[in-house]
Amino acid sequence: IESLKMEPLADVAMLPGEERVIDKDIIYICPFNAAVKGKVFITNYRLYFKNTDSTPVTLDVPLGVISRVEKMGGASSRGENSYGLEITCKDMRNLRFALKQEGHSRRDIFEIIFKYAFPLSHGMQLFAFLSQEKYEENGWNVYEAMEEYRRQVLPNSEWRVTFINKNYELCDTYPTILVVPYKATDEDLRRVAAFRSRCRIPVLSWFHKENHAVIMRCSQPLVGMSGKRNKDDERYLDLIREANGTTKLTIYDARPNVNAVANKATGGGYEGDDAYQNAELVFLDIHNIHVMRESLKKLKDIVYPNVEESHWLSSLESTHWLEHIKLVLSGAIQVADKVSSGSSVVVHCSDGWDRTAQLTSLAMLMLDSYYRTLRGFQVLLEKEWISFGHKFASRIGHGDKNHADQDRSPIFLQFIDCVWQMTKQFPTAFEFNERLLVVILDHLYSCRFGTFLYNCESARESNNVRGKTVSLWSFVNSDTSLYINPFFTPESSRVLYPVASMRHLELWVTYYIRWNPRILHQQQSPVEQRYKELLAVRDQYLKKLEELQLSDSTHLTNSSTPNAATPNQHITHLQTPF
Amino acid sequence: MLSLGSVGAKSTKPSFVSYVTPEEIKLEKEPPKKLKHPDLLPGEVEFCSANPILKYTQDDLSQRGVFGTLFCTNFRITFISDEKSQEETTKTFKNKLYGENDIPLMFVDHIYGVYDEKRKLITGALVKNKYPSKIIIHCKDLRVFQFCLTYTKEEDAKKIFQGIAHHCLEEKSLKCVFAFSYTGTPSPEMQRKRETILFDSPEDWTQEMKRTKANCRLVTENENFELSQRLPKYFVIPSALGDLFSYQGKGFPIWCWSHYSGCALFKASLPPVTQEDGDFQKHFDIMINAVAHNYLYSAKTEDLSESLPTIQDIQQSYNKFKQFFLIENSTDFWLSDMKWFSSLESSGWLDIIRQCLQKAVEVVECLEKDNTNVLITEEEGTDLCCVISSLVQIMLDPYYRTLMGFQSLVQKEWVAGCHAFLDRCNHLHQKDKECYSPVFLLFLECVWQLVQQHSPAFQFSETYLTVLSDSVHMPVFSTFLFNSAHHRESVLKHQRQLSLPSTAFKTPFKKGFFKDETDSLKKMLRVKRLSRWMGSPDSTAAISREFYESWQQRPLDYHGLLLPCLDGPAVRVWMQRYLRWIPEVHILGGGSVAVMTKLMELLSQVQDLKRVLEQRDSSQAAKPDHRPYIQHRLLSFGSSGRLPSSFPFAYSRNRSFKPIIPTGLMQCLMLTDSLASQEDEASSFVSLV
């Protein structure tokens, strides 16, 4: 297979389409050891460092994770290793390199890293468009909107599929296929769009097969200072409520109350009591993207390069990172609880692409066991995050040199952290493991796959992402065994409510502190290892038994032993005699 | 609740050793109670009772509850519901000695009374004819009970309140402890092949010296406590130590453990302070010299009372810490949630755990890396010395990570080693709180951190440690009831003395290797060695960091040296112990219990298959196998994910999913003999939790 043919670059296998740009002798100032002499290789995809002295250190950093490159020290700086480069990464680490002070030795490498790490700022293409990787699986087929809606038993007598947005005319940040109340006409939708920020009207995210309650997502209503009302929007929300006979529609506004009020000044706002008589509004007090960005920055300060020692717990608390996680999770729990009790809900924040995506996708993860499978989780991300326009390009800043851009925010990371917290609390409920979550985050930044590029479907379509890049799911699904949780026990009907208490929330050490060699990193938990060993023993016994039964049936032609074909049948058969 | 072996094996007074024997776990099918009286233990006597009493349920905000009868006996406070509790019928795992609604008197930590909406701490002194409308009981195992007395006749309410207050709070004599009334006898099935070593006989000590190839001298002169009542009956000292009677019973370097290299760990109380300064120094020098003589003439000494928190610090810290878990209602719980991490930090409890582990690592480094003898000292030599020496031995010696080994260690360092359990646990509610301090719990906390970080290296699980931490206050066992070996013997006089004639023992081993060295050389060596140890705290921290890192870089050997990671995120709260009774944090179908259930299911499948295969083999050889099947095979598939994370301690009620409780799970949670012996002989130490 061609995808496996890779050129050697020092010790690392280059990707098809990857090209070497420069090699250079350099000193890596490792914060955990000391300065390490070695060689750095820059390709159009990665920065690779290998020691040449005795300290075994390698670095393999996709250029996409770099958010900032700076020169450190000047030609006249004193002190050892004071002249070089400082690289800030998006994945919770910084890299420092030192070079010889003579002859502007860092100029070429600085410029090359700057250019290749931020290709979009230099009129170049992201690596995903240059990659020639090929996989047997095509990850772009993982999510087909119609297929997913059909899985949810949609459309039906209460909900219809509309193609009103087929050319992104109704809303340019929504996908083309939308599910809306059966009774709402396309004309109604257009009028509602006029009253919703960026035309992101309430559309269906998830349908409860038993009680027919729904999760709807949207942006804030354009109430403004004057407290404008819109009869069509009011009627539309009532249609949502009526669809399954919910007595009072619950509107979850993800923002803190004060922020929602403040949004009125810029034309936004929230659904008022008098205008929406059959609805109740609940504020979930989740802060905005700027607060989250600062929180993560503080977290990085206390874990990299060294873990804060003397006041670890109060330092951790002062970052508020886990507190935000708690609020997001408890918001999602409220949504899931409401829906499972039979009431339909509407979820929005300001624009409906950050906090809203977090809440709906987490609630769906709690309500629907399908999303807890490896494939289902991919569908969930494709649907709630990618197709509904979470602004990945703006939030991550793929290939963009403006590291201080105010649009940057770790909203998606925060969501993945919430998922991780759930997998910790329910170790048997998820088909995928922690490794999948880390791989997703690594490739959120790497720009190797097209999955997380661009802000919305319409931009992805006009740039032909599906045609020109490889999906992350092609990579993942070509070797799923790496991402399978052996303890997974499928349970279809159970709602999973995590405990959103600080007592249970913990810092995801294996992600946030993974660069620190002092922190214990168990590749595989000992219990998991033992479990896998036992699985192997079981399979061995089963095989032996099957062989014996086979030889029995050849010896005794009138044997009544059923010839069980699968291990499970064996087990049930074996259970009964005892 | 846990179903546990109930009574002791060796002596008439049971010990925790025989108490926690997972092999004996049996399912107990209890007949439904008709009589509204408690099932009394042998020797238990009912004092008073009152009905109707409303017991508040902790599960929700609304102050709902159940009516029933409250009893006070010489063993416990117990509540018996008028309704037939559902738990009683569904619960398979329960503690054999006390149930969900039982509070053994020694478990009572504090009692609060609510008078006209005001909450007051009840102390021993009571105002006659006044009783609260509600009593709130905080237990040492962190349960919280709330009883409402307003529905009861005034006379009964007064009687039960005064009875409870009297029996739980008044200073009492040791003879009043239930252990002396308890008449239960060990059942024959309690006899086990492998016994915990109790270290109450000279043989136990010689055996231990032999096991660790120690080159020390057994002291039998204290058999009748002539040397000191604060010293163990038998103990081991450096062979170079001379006349014991000149020490006034203090300042002996007592041998704890020998490293395979020959160097050893010793602990000592400080020499009497009444002596002149010069005498003190002289005495100290003799002590160190004797220790140094043990191996290659090097010794390091560390005064733990200077480098670690005092027992009062420990007590204060724990008092703050435990408050965060004595949750009376949901509102309090969520209010305290936001400041959770800083609250934890302000108690300083985790930091004390870290400091103890850090100190133990430093001692381990001396023994393992420098092969230097170590002498740890402390005023009494029976508190932090026990913590550190036990931790060092667990880190260095895999034997102490087995169940029997661990129990033997507790016997060696703590019980035979004269830790003052009675005073430290304040079993008798003495008003003088100075001597009360949860030192033994601190040790268990440190062990838990190690178990948490390296669970496969231990044969026992965290559940074992949690049950052990409770059983310290269980007045049925004598193990944790006394202040010293002498105390134990003088109280339990009727017991058979386990001593042997001292002639059975040889006199001291040959004199030290460096006997002929000149004094100056000794002094020089010692000063050099000591100076490094006494270096600034920063430098020792940096050095042990290096030691940890080099250990960490090597492949982890569960049968070898074990070190804890002490970075901020690595030192954690013992969730099982502290959160088990708080319904708000129970994860239904989650937590590590869910994984264990899966593991048990698979294990039972494997065992069934193995049995079927064996039977086929034996049927061909015409030898049918009638061995009883292992209980946990009864696990129903698909039941996994239904247990609350607080299993096997608390059960959540009022949830949409009533958990189905599989049987036999405790076997796996506590011990994995069956697994270890069948599948993988090489890893008999491996625990599953």
Query: What digits encode the pLDDT tens for the residues A354-392?
Result: 999 999 999 999 999 999 999 999 999 999 999 999 999
Give the end-to-end CA distance of chain B in Å, rounded to a whole number. 18
Distance from CA of B258 to the nearest CA of A (A): 29
Helix (H, G, I), strand (E, B) or coil at B468: helix
- C-alpha B574/C-alpha B109 separation (Å) is 20
- Nearest neighbour of A504 by CB, restricted to B350, B585, B637: B585
Hey, what amino acid is at B108? V
SS3 breakdown of chain B: % helix, strand, coil, rounded to 5? 45, 10, 45
Distance from CA of B587 to the nearest CA of A (A): 6
Q: Which residues of A are annotated as a binding site for substrate?
A: 288-289, 349-355
Question: Chain B, 55-114: which have a CB under 8 Å from a chain A CB?
Answer: none
Record: contact B680-A533, CB cut-off 8 A: yes
Find which of B49-63, B116-130, B136-150, B234-248 is predicted with most confidence, using mean pLDDT. B136-150
Chain A hits for B549, CB-CB cut-off 8 Å, are: 517-518
- C-alpha B488/C-alpha A30 separation (Å) is 58
- C-alpha A178/C-alpha A165 separation (Å) is 8
Token reading at B182: 């308890």
The mean predicted confidence, pLDDT, of chain B is 77
Higher pLDDT, A225 or B272: A225
Reference A280, options A243, A247, A307, A320; nearest CA is A247
Distance from CA of B393 to the nearest CA of A (A): 22
User: Are the beta carbons of B306 and B378 closer than 8 angstroms?
Assistant: no
CA B404 to chain centre: 14
Query: What digits encode the pLDDT tens for the residues B492-534?
Result: 875 433 322 222 222 233 222 222 333 333 344 343 333 333 3
Chain A hits for B462, CB-CB cut-off 8 Å, are: none
Chain B hits for A503, CB-CB cut-off 8 Å, are: 337, 340, 573, 575, 579, 582, 585
Query: Which residue reads 């006379």 in tokens?
Result: B155
Give percent of chain A with pLDDT exceeding 90: 82
A349 is catalytic: yes
- Nearest neighbour of A429 by CB, restricted to B337, B637, B641: B641
- Of the residues A30, A89, A349, A456, only one is catalytic, namely A349
User: Are the beta carbons of B164 and B379 closer than 8 angstroms?
Assistant: no
The pLDDT value recorded for residue A568 is 41
Mean pLDDT computed over A168-180: 97
The pLDDT value recorded for residue A34 is 82
Distance from CA of A74 to the nearest CA of B (A): 33
Chain B hits for A531, CB-CB cut-off 8 Å, are: 595, 598-599, 602
Query: What digits encode the pLDDT tens for the residues B332-383?
Result: 888 888 899 999 999 999 999 999 999 999 999 999 999 999 999 998 899 9
Distance from CA of B345 to the nearest CA of A (A): 6
Query: What digits encode the pLDDT tens for the residues A461-475?
Result: 999 999 999 999 999
Question: Chain A, 183-212: which have a CB under 8 Å from a chain B CB?
Answer: none
CA A477 to chain centre: 16
> A578 touching B, CB under 8 A?
yes
Q: Is the pLDDT of residue B247 over 50?
A: yes
Question: Chain B, 592-631: which have a CB under 8 Å from a chain A CB?
Answer: 592, 594-599, 602-603, 605-606, 608-610, 612-613, 616, 629
CA torsion B518-B520-B522-B525 (nearest 10°) is: -140
- C-alpha A27/C-alpha A50 separation (Å) is 10
Token reading at A260: 């929602």
CA dist A359 → A70, A236, A240, A350 (Å): 37, 22, 19, 13
Q: Is the pLDDT of residue B255 over 50?
A: yes
The pLDDT value recorded for residue B615 is 85
Which residue out of A308, A494, A503, A551 would a mutagenesis test of the B interface target, given it has the greatest number of B Cβ atoms within 10 Å? A503
Chain A hits for B575, CB-CB cut-off 8 Å, are: 503-504
Q: Rounded to 5 degrees, what angle do the CA atoms A449, A50, A474 make?
A: 15
DSSP code for A353: S
- C-alpha A412/C-alpha A480 separation (Å) is 23
Record: contact B641-A491, CB cut-off 8 A: yes
- C-alpha A53/C-alpha A25 separation (Å) is 11
Residue B65, judged by CB atoms within 10 A of its CB (0-12, 13-18, 19+), counts as: middle
Reference A256, options A200, A206, A318, A323; nearest CA is A323
User: Are the beta carbons of A384 and A361 closer than 8 angstroms?
Assistant: yes
CB atoms within 10 A of CB B620: 9
b/e per residue B564-594 (b: at least 16 CB within 10 A): bbbbbbbbebbbbbbbbbbbbbbbbbbbbbb
The secondary structure of A378-438, three-state, reads: HHHHHHHHHHCCCCHHHHHCCCCCCCCCCCCCCHHHHHHHHHHHHHHHCCCCCCECHHHHH
Q: Flag the least confident range among A13-17, A18-22, A210-214, B182-186.
A: B182-186
> A542 touching B, CB under 8 A?
yes
Record: contact B549-A518, CB cut-off 8 A: yes
> B549 touching A, CB under 8 A?
yes
Q: What is the CA radius of gyration of chain A?
A: 27
**CA-based nearest residue in chain A for residue B687:** A527
Edge-to-edge, what's the strand order for the sheet holding A20-29?
A58-62, A46-51, A35-43, A20-29, A94-98, A84-89, A66-72
Query: What digits encode the pLDDT tens for the residues B643-680?
Result: 778 888 876 554 443 222 222 222 222 323 332 223 22
Give the end-to-end CA distance of chain A in Å, rounded to a whole number. 51
Distance from CA of B245 to the nearest CA of A (A): 46
Token reading at B316: 């204060």
Helix (H, G, I), strand (E, B) or coil at B113: strand
For residue B232, whether the previous peptide bond is cis, meaning omega lies within 30 degrees of 0, is no
**CA-based nearest residue in chain B for residue A536:** B606
Give percent of chain B with pLDDT exceeding 90: 41
Chain A hits for B568, CB-CB cut-off 8 Å, are: 307-309, 312-313, 315-316
Record: contact A503-B586, CB cut-off 8 A: no
> B328 touching A, CB under 8 A?
no
Record: contact B679-A537, CB cut-off 8 A: yes
Q: Is the pLDDT of residue B181 over 90?
A: no
Interface ipTM: 0.90
Record: contact A545-B612, CB cut-off 8 A: yes
Query: Which residue reads 């006899």 in tokens?
Result: B191
- Nearest neighbour of A425 by CB, restricted to B345, B552, B591: B591
Distance from CA of B350 to the nearest CA of A (A): 10
Distance from CA of B24 to the nearest CA of A (A): 22
Which residue out of A303, A316, A326, A487 would a mutagenesis test of the B interface target, given it has the greatest number of B Cβ atoms within 10 Å? A487
- C-alpha B422/C-alpha B473 separation (Å) is 10
Sorted by sequence, the CB contacts under 8 Å of residue B462 that are 6+ apart come out as B448, B451, B452, B574, B576, B577, B689
Token reading at A135: 């996989």
Question: Chain B, 451-510: which have a CB under 8 Å from a chain A CB?
Answer: 453, 455-456
Record: contact B568-A312, CB cut-off 8 A: yes
DSSP count for chain A of H helices, then E strands: 19, 16
CB atoms within 10 A of CB B533: 16
Q: What is the CA radius of gyration of chain B?
A: 27
Residue A281: band (very low, low, confident or very high) from pLDDT cuts 50, 70, 90: very high
Chain B hits for A485, CB-CB cut-off 8 Å, are: none
Chain A hits for B587, CB-CB cut-off 8 Å, are: 425-426, 498-499, 504
Query: Which residue reads 């088909």 in tokens?
Result: A431
The pLDDT value recorded for residue B545 is 82
Helix (H, G, I), strand (E, B) or coil at A297: helix
Q: Is the pLDDT of residue B473 over 70?
A: yes
- Nearest neighbour of B602 by CB, restricted to A494, A503, A531: A531
Chain B hits for A578, CB-CB cut-off 8 Å, are: 608, 629, 633
Record: contact A503-B575, CB cut-off 8 A: yes
Hey, what amino acid is at A510? T
> B587 touching A, CB under 8 A?
yes
Helix (H, G, I), strand (E, B) or coil at B103: strand
User: Are the beta carbons of B596 and B688 closer than 8 angstroms?
Assistant: yes
Chain A hits for B544, CB-CB cut-off 8 Å, are: none
The mean predicted confidence, pLDDT, of chain A is 91
Q: What are phi and psi of B67, to 5 degrees?
A: -90, 150
Find which of A2-16, A411-425, A516-530 is predicted with most confidence, using mean pLDDT. A411-425
Q: Is the pLDDT of residue B616 over 90?
A: no
DSSP for A500-542 reads -STTT----HHHHTTT-TTS---SS-HHHHHHHHHHHHHHHHH
Residue A280: band (very low, low, confident or very high) from pLDDT cuts 50, 70, 90: very high
